[in-house]
C-alpha cells in the first residue's frame, strides 16, 4: 500500500475543497450506466436473476473495452453478444467505412476461431465465468423496473471494483487507461436536405445524444439543456460556422473550456438512411496546435527554449475547425434510432482512442524519478499529495525531506513520464524537468512561471536535510511515505 488510509482520506477531503467546479462533471470510469436488461423465466425471481446476469455481462464487456485500446480487444471475452465467456479472438470490422462500430457490434458477427491467431508477446486471453464477473461487481442501481409473473425488465447501472478490474487486466498483461480527460460540451446539429436543427424538440439526433450515457467515459461529455438561454446563445448555423462569440457565451455559462459540434447529416439513398457524422473541435480554451511558444520575460529575464514558462496542456492541442473523428453508417430506412446509436458509439470510440493511447498504464515496466514539489502553503501541498495519491500510474511515493514551501521526494510510476505529466495536469499541476539538474518539478500551474524564473536566476539542486529542506520522517530511520 503506497499510502495510509488516514492520509488518503485527508488528502481526498482537501482535493474536494480545491477542485474547480467544472471537474465535478467527471464520473467514475468503473461504472457502466443504465444498461437495459430483460429476462424471462419460470417465475419472477428467475426472470430477474437472468436479466441482471445478462446485464452484468454487457456491463463488463463495455467496461473492458472502455479501458483498453482497440488493438487489444481480441483478447477480451465476447460477453455482450451472449457468447461463451472465454475470449474468442473476434476483431472489429475496419475495412468498410460504412460498417457500424458500436459496443454491441459483436452481436452482428459470427464467431471466429482464435486457433492460429498470432498473439502479441506477453498478452493473454481473458476468460471469465459468471461467478467471476459477479465478484468484480461492487454494487448496482436499478431504474425503471418492471416485472410480471414470468418477465423482468429494467435499466441497471453496474459499478465494479477498481482494484479487481486492474488485477484482471494486469494479469493478462493488457495495458489500460483509467484517466479521464476534461469534459467537453457537445452540440448535436442535425442536417437533412430540408432542415437544419439543434434545439428543436423533434431533433432525433439530439435525442440520441441525450439518451447516451457520456459522463463515465474516458473522454466525458455532457449535452446542453436546450433551454431558453441555450437557444439565445447559439443557433445551428452559428454552431456549424464555429462562431466563437456565440460558442464562448455558452462555454462561460456551462463553465467549460471545450465544445464539440456533432454534425449529423442524413441522406436517404435507394431506400437506405445514410448518416455522416463529423465530430468537430468547435471551441477550445487551450492554445492551437501550431501556436509557437512565445518567449516570456519574468523580472526582466527571458526564459530559454529549454525551460519555457508555457505549460503544455494534457490534451492534444487541436485547431478550431479540426474534424476529430468522422464516420459513415447506413441502415434500412425507418430505423434512425438504432443508426444514430451505432453512429454515436462509433464516433466516440474513435475520438477516445488517442486519449486512451496517451494515458495507457503498462504494468510491465516501472520507473523511479526524483522530484521537487514547490508550493506556497499547506493547501497547495495537500493538492500535490492528493494528485499523486489519485494517479493510477503512481505506485509509491517517498518524501525524503520537507520544508514550509517545498518537498523532495522519489516517485515510482508505471508507463512513460509523459503519462505522469498528463495525470498531474488533470489536477492543474505543472510537471517539468529542470535542464541539467536531473530533478523533476511539480507545482500549481499558476506557480510554474515563478519557479522556472527562480531556477533560471539561481539554478540549484535541492539537498536532503539542512539547507533548503528540513528532514521530516514519519518513522525512525526511514523516509516518509504518504
Compute the distance between CA of residue 158 and CA of residue 51 in angstroms, rounded to an integer: 13
pTM attached to this predicted model: 0.65
Residue of 343, 25, 332, 22 whose CA lies nearest to 212: 343
pLDDT in tens, 301-343: 233 332 222 233 345 556 888 999 999 998 888 889 999 999 9
Element (H, E) at 263: strand 258-269
Walk across the sheet containing 31-40 and list its strands: 31-40, 151-160, 137-147
pLDDT in tens, 406-445: 998 888 888 778 878 888 887 788 898 876 556 799 999 8
CA 359 to the chain's CA centroid: 9
CA 276 to the chain's CA centroid: 25
The x, y and z cell numbers of residue 87, run together, are: 475470449
pLDDT in tens, 413-422: 887 788 788 8
pLDDT in tens, 166-224: 999 988 889 899 888 889 999 999 999 999 999 999 999 999 999 999 999 999 999 99
Burial class of 24 by CB neighbour count within 10 A (0 to 12, 13 to 18, 19+): exposed
At 79, the pLDDT band (50, 70, 90 cuts) reads low
Amino acid at each position: 500500500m503506497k499510502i495510509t488510509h488516514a492520509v488518503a482520506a485527508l488528502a481526498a477531503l482537501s482535493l474536494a475543497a480545491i477542485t474547480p467546479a467544472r471537474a465535478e462533471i467527471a464520473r467514475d470510469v468503473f461504472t457502466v450506466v443504465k444498461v437495459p436488461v430483460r429476462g424471462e423465466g419460470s417465475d419472477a425471481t428467475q426472470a430477474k436473476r437472468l436479466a441482471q446476469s445478462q446485464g452484468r455481462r454487457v456491463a463488463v464487456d463495455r467496461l473492458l473495452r472502455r479501458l483498453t485500446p482497440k488493438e487489444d480487444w481480441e483478447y477480451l471475452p465476447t460477453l455482450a453478444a451472449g457468447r461463451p465467456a472465454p475470449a474468442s479472438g473476434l476483431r472489429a470490422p475496419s475495412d468498410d467505412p460504412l460498417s457500424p462500430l458500436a459496443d454491441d457490434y459483436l452481436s452482428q458477427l459470427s464467431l471466429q476461431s482464435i486457433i492460429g491467431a498470432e498473439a502479441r508477446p506477453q498478452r493473454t486471453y481473458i476468460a471469465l465465468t459468471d461467478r467471476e464477473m459477479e465478484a468484480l461487481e461492487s454494487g448496482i442501481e436499478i431504474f425503471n423496473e418492471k416485472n410480471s409473473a414470468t418477465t423482468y425488465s429494467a435499466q441497471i447501472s453496474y459499478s465494479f471494483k477498481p482494484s479487481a478490474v486492474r488485477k484482471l487486466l494486469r494479469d493478462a498483461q493488457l495495458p489500460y487507461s483509467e484517466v479521464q480527460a476534461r469534459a467537453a460540451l457537445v452540440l448535436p446539429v442535425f442536417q437533412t436536405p430540408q432542415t437544419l436543427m439543434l434545439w428543436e424538440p423533434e431533433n432525433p439526433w439530439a435525442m440520441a445524444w441525450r439518451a447516451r450515457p457520456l459522463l463515465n467515459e474516458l473522454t466525458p461529455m455532457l449535452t446542453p439543456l436546450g433551454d431558453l438561454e441555450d437557444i439565445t446563445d447559439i443557433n445551428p448555423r452559428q454552431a456549424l460556422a464555429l462562431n466563437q462569440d456565440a460558442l464562448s457565451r455558452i462555454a462561460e455559462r456551462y463553465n467549460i473550456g471545450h465544445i464539440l459540434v456533432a454534425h449529423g447529416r442524413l441522406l436517404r439513398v435507394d431506400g437506405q438512411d445514410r448518416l455522416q457524422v463529423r465530430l468537430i473541435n468547435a471551441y477550445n480554451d487551450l492554445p492551437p496546435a501550431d501556436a509557437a511558444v512565445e518567449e516570456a520575460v519574468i523580472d526582466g529575464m527571458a526564459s530559454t527554449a529549454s525551460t519555457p514558462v508555457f505549460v503544455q496542456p494534457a490534451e492534444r492541442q487541436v485547431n478550431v475547425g479540426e474534424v476529430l473523428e468522422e464516420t459513415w453508417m447506413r441502415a434500412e430506412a425507418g430505423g434512425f434510432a438504432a443508426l444514430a446509436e451505432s453512429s454515436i458509439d462509433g464516433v466516440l470510440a474513435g475520438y477516445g482512442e488517442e486519449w486512451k493511447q496517451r494515458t495507457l498504464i503498462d504494468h510491465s515496466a516501472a520507473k523511479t524519478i526524483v522530484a521537487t514539489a514547490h508550493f506556497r502553503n499547506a493547501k497547495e501541498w495537500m493538492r500535490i499529495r492528493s494528485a499523486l495519491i489519485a494517479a493510477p500510474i503512481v505506485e509509491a511515493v517517498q518524501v525524503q525531506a520537507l520544508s514550509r514551501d517545498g518537498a523532495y521526494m522519489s516517485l515510482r510510476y508505471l508507463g512513460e513520464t509523459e503519462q505522469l505529466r498528463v495525470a498531474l495536469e488533470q489536477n492543474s499541476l505543472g510537471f517539468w524537468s529542470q535542464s541539467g539538474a536531473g530533478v523533476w518539478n511539480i507545482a500549481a500551474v499558476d506557480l510554474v512561471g515563478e519557479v522556472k524564473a527562480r531556477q533560471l536566476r539561481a539554478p540549484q539542486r535541492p539537498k536532503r536535510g539542512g539547507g533548503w529542506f528540513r528532514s521530516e520522517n514519519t518513522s525512525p530511520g526511514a523516509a516518509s511515505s504518504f
